């Protein structure tokens, strides 16, 4: 059998999303910018998709902008916000365990003369609130923190960070990378109050190549690209309607609370069984998002175990799919020792994960420790 546990990298598109994409390709294939009937039909579909996303995030449709995915949403949010506010101040703050699309955007800002403060974390990747409070001041123009860590599953204290920003740096914009949180836990741009939020389609059983950025009304962003004025000039270019339609349909198919309950039960069963494997270490905190469990088998290199499991048609990850071939910056920033980092594996669930798949994964991990030890 096949057991897929790399859902934090990407999920299998749900059937309804695939059907909607095919419909859009075959029937509603007009350009939303065209004024004839086919164009109007496509524009109506685009408006409907935008409303679906807005309703899910508790905002207005005018505050939703479609992008090519989480990476582009993060780039537009970080670079666009910081550059737009540069005359007011060039101090920006982020966490030390952010996704590469945020990290590298801040690296670029630093090369442009911005003062970048990177806040450290505890061993579970949880951001240091005291350090955040100390760093915030009246010259801060942007804070960007992820909602859920993509490697450890740690739920970051975004509500507390929002409160600190209001207290210490009320003019600063707050961006939340919610790619790993969207559709998995109840989420709203109102709780905590944020100015910018990034979400992605292919993490919630939608197609790849599409995401969205929430931009609070009145928030100023400097555009990163230029074209025909689509998406209010923030992300110009003909809209990828089949992907957008698939994304919106995947959002409509979400069963957040029901799925969370199911995945929590599977996670708890996994952790109980993992505790019986000698030497195995669980790196994720107890209160982590249950969709992600990060483990280590000290003495067993990640790639060796990953390949062993792959030969059994069991698919896990050795870290973020966007950091392939590199030692995890998340686990490094969290202060974990090299033997833990180099043997780490990320197991990630979806709402379609079955108990039988879980049994096979546990069997595979046990076999891996037994077989590799004998080599």
Q: Which of the residues are catalytic? A: 322
**Structure tokens of 141?**
């123009």
Q: Identify which of 67, 8, 107, 96 has the alpha carbon closest to the alpha carbon of residue 196.
A: 67
Q: Identify which of 288, 331, 373 has the alpha carbon closest to the alpha carbon of residue 365.
A: 373
**Structure tokens of 112?**
């442009």
Q: Identify which of 202, 201, 175, 156 has the alpha carbon closest to the alpha carbon of residue 93.
A: 175
How many whole angstroms separate alpha carbon 80 and alpha carbon 90? 13
**Structure tokens of 109?**
């800002």
Sign of CA dihedral 349, 355, 360, 363: positive
CA-angle at 197, arms to 346 and 238, nearest 5°: 100
214 SS3 class? strand
Q: Indicate left, alpha or beta for 174 from its phi (over 0: left) and psi (-120 to 50: alpha).
A: beta
Written in H, E and C, the secondary structure of 265-296 is HHHHHHHHHHCCCCCCEECCCCCCCCCEEEEE
**Structure tokens of 200?**
């992605």
Q: Tell me which residue has tokens 């679906």.
A: 52
């Amino acid at each position: 059998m096949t057991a897929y546990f790399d859902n934090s990298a990407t999920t299998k598109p749900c059937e309804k999303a695939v059907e909607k994409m095919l419909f859009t390709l075959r029937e509603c294939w007009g350009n939303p910018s065209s004024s004839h009937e086919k164009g109007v039909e496509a524009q109506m579909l685009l408006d409907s998709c935008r409303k679906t996303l807005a309703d899910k995030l508790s905002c207005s449709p005018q505050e939703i902008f479609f992008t090519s995915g989480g990476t582009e949403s993060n780039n537009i949010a970080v670079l666009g916000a910081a550059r737009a506010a540069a005359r007011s101040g060039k101090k920006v703050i982020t966490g030390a365990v952010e996704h590469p699309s945020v990290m590298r955007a801040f690296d670029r800002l630093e090369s442009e003369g911005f003062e970048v403060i990177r806040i450290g974390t505890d061993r579970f990747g949880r951001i240091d609130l005291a350090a955040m409070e100390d760093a915030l001041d009246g010259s801060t123009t942007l804070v960007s923190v992820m909602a859920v860590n993509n490697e450890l599953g740690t739920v970051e204290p975004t509500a507390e960070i929002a409160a600190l920003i209001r207290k210490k740096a009320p003019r600063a914009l707050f961006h939340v990378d919610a790619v790993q949180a969207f559709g998995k836990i109840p989420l709203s741009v109102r709780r905590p109050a944020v100015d910018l939020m990034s979400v992605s389609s292919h993490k919630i059983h939608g197609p790849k190549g599409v995401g969205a950025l929430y931009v609070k009304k009145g928030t100023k962003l400097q555009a990163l690209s230029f074209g025909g004025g689509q998406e209010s000039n923030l992300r110009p270019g003909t809209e990828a309607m089949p992907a957008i339609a698939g994304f919106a349909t995947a959002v409509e198919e979400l069963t957040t609370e029901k799925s969370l309950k199911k995945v929590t039960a599977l996670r708890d069963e996994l952790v109980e069984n993992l505790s019986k494997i000698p030497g195995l270490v669980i790196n994720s905190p107890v209160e982590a998002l249950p969709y992600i469990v990060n483990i280590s088998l000290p003495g067993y290199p990640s790639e060796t175990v990953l390949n062993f499991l792959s030969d059994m048609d069991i698919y896990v990850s050795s870290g973020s799919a966007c950091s392939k071939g590199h030692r995890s910056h998340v686990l490094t920033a969290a202060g974990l020792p090299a033997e833990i980092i180099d043997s780490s594996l990320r197991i990630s669930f979806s709402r379609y994960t079955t108990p039988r798949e879980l049994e096979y994964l546990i069997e595979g991990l046990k076999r891996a420790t037994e077989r590799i030890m004998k080599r």
